[in-house]
Structure 1
C-alpha cells in the first residue's frame, strides 16, 4: 500500500490523526465522571475555580482538528468506527484562526465541523467530541500546517456550558478561571443561529507557565452576552506570549 505524506491512498486519516482522535474520545468519555479540578488541571480542589465550575457548569465536549484525505473519506471513517457523526457545517471560527495563524485566504480554507457521539460509560451516546475537518484536498491545505497543528494541537480544547449565565456568576467564574486556573481571556463571540436566543462562547488559553496537558478551554452560554465580552478586557499580549511560548516549548521537546 503506497503512502503519501504519512497517509495511504486507502486511509482517511494519518496514523497521528487516528491517535489524536482516540485520545480525544477517551478524554471525553472520562470527563463525564471527572472532577472540575481534574478537568481544569493544576487547580486547588477547594478553590473558587473548582467550586464555581462544579456549581454552575457542566462538561460539554472535547475538540480536535483532523486532516482527512477528503471530507467524504473522513466522514465515512467516522461512520465506520461507529462514532455517528452529525451533519457537517462550515467552521468559521477555526477557519479564521487558521487563516490568521498561517496567512491563508479564508475563501480557500475549506474547514468543516461535526460532532461525533461516542458511547459513554453509562451506555448513553452523547455528542461530546467536536471534530474540525481540514481536508487535504482543500485549496489552502499545506503539509506545514498539518505538521504544526498535529505537533501543537492549538485547536484542541475542553468546553463547559454555564447553565445560569447571569452577570454575577460570569464575573465570579471568569475571574476565578483567570486568577486560580492560570487561564488567559481570549475574548468570545455570539452566534444568533444556535438555540432559540442564540449562544455565546468565550475562549481561554492557559498561561504558558502552567505545565498542564489541557491548554485551551471554552465556556458556552445560552443567549447574547456580547455586553459582558465587551466590558471584559482581553489578555491580548499575554495570550500572544502564551502561544509563542507554547510553540517554542513544543519545538524544543521534538528536537
Structure 2
C-alpha cells in the first residue's frame, strides 16, 4: 500500500495524487490485467498471443511541478528511487501539436522509478515532467489526462510480428492508432493507441514500445493517427471528397489515365473539356485522396482510383455518380429525416427514389448500373451456395440481373428465373445476353406485393431487397417467398449486417443512408432472424462477404414448410 503524506515543496496535491494512483495501479496489475482492462474484446487466445511477445512495462503520468526535484522527492515518499532524468521526444511533440506551441517551449523530461507489479515482476512508473508549463496547457492536460497511459514492451520482434500486434490492437481490440515516434535517447520506437469505446480501466491510451528504429511500421501507424481537430475537419469536408470523386468519374478521368498512364494535365484537360488550372487543383486533391499519384509529367491511377474506370472488372464509377448526384442532393435534407423519421429523398424530390429513377431512362440506367457494380463486390457467391440437387434459381427483385447472371455463369448446370418489374426486364435481357446465359434464364414480370413469386425454384435469392423496406413490408416479402418455396428449397438473403457489438463497420453509414434516401434500414443478423421466423422460416447459416455484407441461408422451419406435393 502507498503512504499518504503531504506533498513535497514544488508539487501540488493534484499531481501527487496522480503519481500515487499510478503507483497503486502498477502494484495491483500484471500483463494479463492490463490486457483485460485495455483490450477486453480480444479473446483469451489473442491475449496469450500478445503476452508471448509483450509484457507490462510501465504506467505513465504527466505532472507540472515548479521544479524537477519535487518529483523525485515525491517518489521517495513511496519508497521509490528516481532514475536520472531524460528528455522526452514523443510526448513533447504531442503536446506541441495539441496546443499549437513550439516544442522549444515544452521541455518535457522523464523520470522513472522501478515498481513491483502484481505478479512480482519489475515495472516502472514513468513520470513526464513539464516545469513551469503555460497555464492553458496545465488546465487542458489535467482535464483530459491525455498523456496518462499504460505501456507494453516487446522483445526483439521483427516487423512482421510488430505489424500483427498492431492489427490485433486496432482490429478486434478496438483501439485507434494515436501517434508515436522514435526516441534516439532510448533507441526505441513507440506506438500509441487510444481507446474508442468504454473501458473499465481509467487509462485511455496504450503504448507499445519496441527496441530500435522501425520506420516502416511507424510510418504506417502515423498515417492512421490523426489529431482530433484534423479528424473532425476531414469528416466535415467529406462532402468535398464525394463531389471530387463524382466529378472525376463523370469526366472520365480514370478512363483516360487507365489508357494513358502519365497523361499530362494539359492534355487531360483538353480531352475532358475542362479548365487546365482548375483541373490541376482537382488532381492535386485526388493525390491527397490517394486516387491518383504523380507519374512522369502527369498522373497515374492508384488501385483505388482504378475502380473509377469504366472498364475495371470491379468498377464503382456509376456508384460515384449516383452518390455524387441525386443521393448527394437529398442527403442535404438529413436533418428533416432525423426530425421526422421520414425519407428525405421523398421530401426533396417529391417522390420515392424508385419512382424518381424509373421516370427517365438515363436515371434508370445509372441506378441499374450502380446496383450491378455493387453486385460485383460480392465475388463468386455462387460457390458459397449449396447447389446440391438444385436445378433452378429464382432471383426475387433482382434488378437488371447482374447477380443472377454471375450465379448462372459460375454454375452451368443451373437455370434461372428473374422476377422483376416489367420496366426493368428489357435491361435484364441485355445483361443475360452479354453473360451468354440468356437461354438458361426466364424473365417473369411482377412484384412481391401483388404477384405470386415463381414456385419452380430450388434456390431463391433476395439480394439487397429487404433493406429497402420497413419490417411489416419485409414480413410480407418473406411470406411471399415462403409460400413459393418447397420444403427443400433454400432462400439466400444478401444484406449488409449491423455489427452486434461496438466494432467498427461501414454499415451504420449505410443505415443512415437508407433512412435518408430510401425509407428502409440495415439490420443485424438477429433482426433478420426474427423477421424470417414471422414467415415460418429460420436462418440456418451465414457467410461473410466483402464490405460488411453477408449471405444468410434461410429455410422453412423443420416440419413447418409445405410438402413437395403442394
Alignment TM class, shorter chain as reference: 0.7 to 0.9
Q: Counterpart of 1:12?
A: 10
Matched, 1:87 2:87: no
Q: Counterpart of 2:33?
A: 35
CA 1:166–1:78: 2 relative to 1, 3 Å = same
Q: Counterpart of 1:65?
A: 62
What is the deviation of 1:91? 1.5
Q: Counterpart of 2:135?
A: 143
What is the rounded CA distance, in whole Å, between the counterparts of 2:199 and 2:34 in structure 1?
A: 17
> Any residues of structure 2 matched to 1:168-187 within 5 Å, and which?
168-187=160-179
- Retained in 2: the 8 A contact 1:31–1:39? no
> Any residues of structure 2 matched to 1:150-229 within 5 Å, and which?
150-194=142-186, 198-207=187-196, 209-212=197-200, 213-229=202-218
- Retained in 2: the 8 A contact 1:190–1:201? yes
Over the aligned positions, Cα root-mean-square deviation in angstroms equals: 2.9
CA 1:82–1:56: 2 relative to 1, 3 Å = same
Q: Counterpart of 1:134?
A: 130
CA 1:175–1:9: 2 relative to 1, 3 Å = closer
Matched, 1:75 2:67: no
What is the deviation of 1:62? 0.6
Matched, 1:240 2:228: yes
CA 1:34–1:23: 2 relative to 1, 3 Å = farther
Partner SS, residue 114 of structure 1:
strand
**CA-to-aligned-CA distance 1:7-50 (integer Å, 9 cap, x gap):** x99633222212211111111122226435324243244353x2
Partner SS, residue 143 of structure 2:
helix
Partner SS, residue 63 of structure 1:
strand
- Residue 53 of structure 2, aligned match among 51, 56, 69: 56
What is the rounded CA distance, in whole Å, between the counterparts of 1:179 and 1:27 in structure 2?
A: 26
Select the structure of larger CA radius of gyration.
2
Moved more, 226-235 or 163-172: 226-235
What is the rounded CA distance, in whole Å, between the counterparts of 1:9 and 1:128 in structure 2?
A: 21
**CA-to-aligned-CA distance 1:201-242 (integer Å, 9 cap, x gap):** 2121122x34453211111112231122234573235x6279
What is the rounded CA distance, in whole Å, between the counterparts of 1:10 and 1:58 in structure 2?
A: 32
CA 1:105–1:228: 2 relative to 1, 3 Å = closer
What is the rounded CA distance, in whole Å, between the counterparts of 1:19 and 1:225 in structure 2?
A: 36
- Retained in 1: the 8 A contact 2:59–2:151? yes
What is the rounded CA distance, in whole Å, between the counterparts of 1:33 and 1:92 in structure 2?
A: 26
- Retained in 2: the 8 A contact 1:94–1:111? yes
- Residue 97 of structure 1, aligned match among 94, 98, 116: 94
Moved more, 221-230 or 177-186: 221-230
What is the rounded CA distance, in whole Å, between the counterparts of 1:15 and 1:243 in structure 2?
A: 35
What is the rounded CA distance, in whole Å, between the counterparts of 2:110 and 2:70 in structure 1?
A: 14
What is the deviation of 1:80? 4.3
Partner SS, residue 150 of structure 2:
strand
What is the rounded CA distance, in whole Å, between the counterparts of 1:68 and 1:104 in structure 2?
A: 19
Aligned residue-pair number: 226
- Retained in 1: the 8 A contact 2:116–2:123? no
**CA-to-aligned-CA distance 1:127-169 (integer Å, 9 cap, x gap):** 5110001123xxxx22222122112110011111122422332
What is the rounded CA distance, in whole Å, between the counterparts of 2:182 and 2:220 in structure 1?
A: 15
Name the one with the larger helix percent. Answer: 2
Q: Which runs of 5+ in 2 are unaligned?
A: 1-5, 233-566
